[in-house]
Amino acid sequence: MARKTGSHADTTRPRVRAAALQLIAQHGFAAVSMRQIAAKVGVQAGALYNYTPDKQTLLFDLLHSHMDELLTARAAAVRQGPACQQLEGFIRFHIRWHLPRGDQVFVSYMELRNLTPENFAQIEQLRRTYEDELEAILRLGVAEAVFVVVDTKITTLALIAMLTGMNNWYRESGRLPLALIEEIYVDLARRAVGVASD
Amino acid sequence: MARKTGSHADTTRPRVRAAALQLIAQHGFAAVSMRQIAAKVGVQAGALYNYTPDKQTLLFDLLHSHMDELLTARAAAVRQGPACQQLEGFIRFHIRWHLPRGDQVFVSYMELRNLTPENFAQIEQLRRTYEDELEAILRLGVAEAVFVVVDTKITTLALIAMLTGMNNWYRESGRLPLALIEEIYVDLARRAVGVASD
DNA sequence: GTCTATATGAGGATAGAC
DNA sequence: GTCTATCCTCATATAGAC
C-alpha cells in the first residue's frame, strides 16, 4: 500500500477529494488542515498542491462537482406527465440521490459560508437552478388546478428543507425501511400542495 | 464616565457573548479567533479568559443558553386544548421565537459538531426534548382521530426541518409579510398531519 | 509526483504588572 | 478586570532534491 515515490495522479486525485470531503464533513472546513487531508491520503502536505492551488479551491471544487452531478442526474430523470406525477418523481429522485451522499450533502450545505463571495455566488446559482425545478412543478400543478398552493416559492423552500433535513437523521440501520420513509415523504409533499393522498 | 481599565464584568460578559455569537454565525466557530472576538468587544485577547476558561466552553455556553431559553419560552406557552389547536400554537410559537434569533439558531445548528462529545450529548438531549413537544401533539391528534399520520416521529422531524429551514431564507425585507408566511406554514403543518385547512 | 525542509504567520492560552 | 508580552503549537504555502 505505501509506496514512497512515483506517479499516481490518477488515483491520488480522487483520493484527495474523498479524504477532504470526509474530514470536512466531520470537522468542518476551517478545522481541517491540509496536513490532516494529506495524512489520510498517505502523502505529505506539499503533495496536495499538485491537485489544488489552495485550500479554498479544493472546497469550491467539491461543492461545484456536487451541484454539477446533482443537476446532471436531475436532467437525466423523467420530467414529463401531469404535475402530480412529476412531483412524486421529484421527491423520489431527491431522496434517492441525496440520502446515499451524506457527506457531500452535509458539506455542500454547511460550508457555503467558507466560500469566497465569487465562489459562493456560483454555487448559489446552481442551487437556485435545482430549486426552480421543483417550483416549476408546483406552478404547473397550480395551472392544472390540481394543486392548491398559496405561494409556490415558499412551498418550494418548505419542501426542499423538509427533504434535505432527512440527511440529518436518516440511518440505514434505522427503525423504518427506506421504502416506507420514501412513501411518507411523497405523501407529505402531496398533502403540502393540497392533493389528497391515494 | 469612560475609564480605560477597571471593573466592567457586568457589561463585558454579555458583549463577549454577543460578539462571539455574531462572528461565529458569520465565519464559523473554527474560523473565528479569540483575538477577533476580543477586537469586536474592544478588549485584548487575554481579557476574554476572565469570562470563559476556553474557547470550547464559550461555544457550549452559547448553545446551552440558546436551548435553555427555547425550552423556558416553550414551557411558558399555552399548551392546552385539542391537538389541532396545539399544533397551530406550536407552529406559531416556533416561528415567532426562532425567526428573530437568526444568529443563535444558525450557530446552534451548524456548530454542533464542534462541541466535545460530552457537550454535544447535553445539547442533543435538550434538542430532543423540544422535538418531543411536537411529537406529543401529533400523538395526541392521532389518539383523537383527527390526525392521519403514518409515523409521528418522521412527521415530527419533517415538520421541524421545514420550520427551521425558514431561517435560511426569511428576511424582514422580503416579498411577503411575516403574518402571511406564518399562515402558510400553519396550513402546511395542518395538511402534513392530514387535517383539512379551513 | 512526491518528498523534505522551511518561510511566514496566526492560533489558543498564560503570567504578571497595574 | 484589563493590559502587555510571550510561550508554544500549528497553520498554509513554497522551494528544490529525487
In angstroms, what separates the C-alpha of B150 from chain A's closest C-alpha? 7
**Nearest one of A160, A118, A101 to A135, comparing CA atoms:** A160
Place of cell 474557547: B55
pLDDT band at residue A190 using 50, 70 and 90 as cut-offs: very high
Q: Residue B5 — φ and ψ, nearest 5°? A: -130, 170
Strand residues in chain B grouped as ranges (E): none
CB A163 within 8 A of CB A95: yes
Locate cell 386544548: which residue? B81
Domains of chain B: 8-52 (1.10.10.60), 54-192 (1.10.357.10)
CB-based contact, A183 to chain B, within 8 Å: yes
Q: Give the residue nearest to nucleotide D1 (CA to C1').
A: B7
Residue written as grid cell 440521490: A97
pLDDT digits (tens, 9 = 90+) for A48-92: 999 999 999 999 999 999 999 999 999 999 889 999 999 999 999
From B88, B116, B108, B118, select the one nearest B193 (Cα to Cα): B88
Q: How far apart are CA B58 and CA B63, in angstroms?
A: 9
**Cβ contacts of A166 on chain B, cutoff 8 Å:** 157-158, 161
**Nucleotide with the nearest C1' to A30 CA:** D11
Chain B contact probe: residue of A150, A188, A197 with most B CBs at under 10 A: A188
**A52 closest-nt by C1' vs CA:** D13
Candidates A163, A134, A162, A164; CA nearest to A149 is A134
User: Cα A152 from chain centroid?
Assistant: 22
Amino acid B46 CA to nucleotide C14 C1' distance, rounded Å? 8
What pLDDT shows up at residue B6? 54
Asked if residue B118 has pLDDT above 60, the reply is: yes
Q: What is the pLDDT of residues A139-162, one digit of tens each?
A: 999 999 999 999 999 999 999 999
Query: pLDDT tier at B78 (50, 70, 90 boundaries)?
Result: confident
Cell numbers of B69, please?
Answer: 431559553
> What is the rounded CA–CA span in Å between residue A111 and residue B36?
20
Q: C-alpha distances in angstroms, B104 versus B65, B113, B179?
A: 10, 15, 22
Is the C-alpha dihedral spanning A110, A114, A120, A123 positive or negative?
negative
Is residue B10 very low, low, confident or very high in pLDDT (cuts 50, 70, 90)?
confident
Q: Taking phi first (over 0 means left), then psi (-120 to 50 degrees means alpha), and beta for anything else, what does residue A18 get?
A: alpha
DSSP string for residues in B72-94? HHHHHS---S-HHHHHHHHHHHH
Most distant CA pair in chain A, distance: 66
Of A157, A160, A188, the CB nearest to B158: A188
pLDDT band at A9 (very low <50, low <70, confident <90, very high): low
Q: Within an 8 Å CB–CB cutoff, is residue B124 touching chain A?
A: no
Query: For residue A1, what pLDDT is reported?
Result: 40
Percentages of chain A per state (helix, strand, coil), in multiples of 5: 75, 0, 25
Q: Give yes or no for A112 touching B (CB within 8 A).
A: no
Q: Which of B113, B158, B183 sits opposite A162 (nearest CB)?
A: B158
Smallest CA-to-CA distance from B40 within B26, B56, B53 is with: B26
The whole-number average pLDDT for the span B3-19 is: 77
Angle CA(A53)–CA(A59)–CA(A65) in degrees, nearest 5? 105
Radius of gyration of chain B (CA): 20
C-beta atoms of B191 and A191 within 8 A: yes
3-state SS string for A12-52 = HHHHHHHHHHHHHHHHCCCCCCHHHHHHHHCCCHHHHHHCC
- B142: which residues sit within 8 A by CB, 6+ positions away? B148, B149, B152
Of B157, B184, B194, the CB nearest to A191: B194
> In chain B, what's the furthest Cα-to-Cα distance?
66
Residues B91, A176: Cα–Cα separation, whole Å: 26
pLDDT tens by residue, A16-35: 999 999 999 999 999 999 99
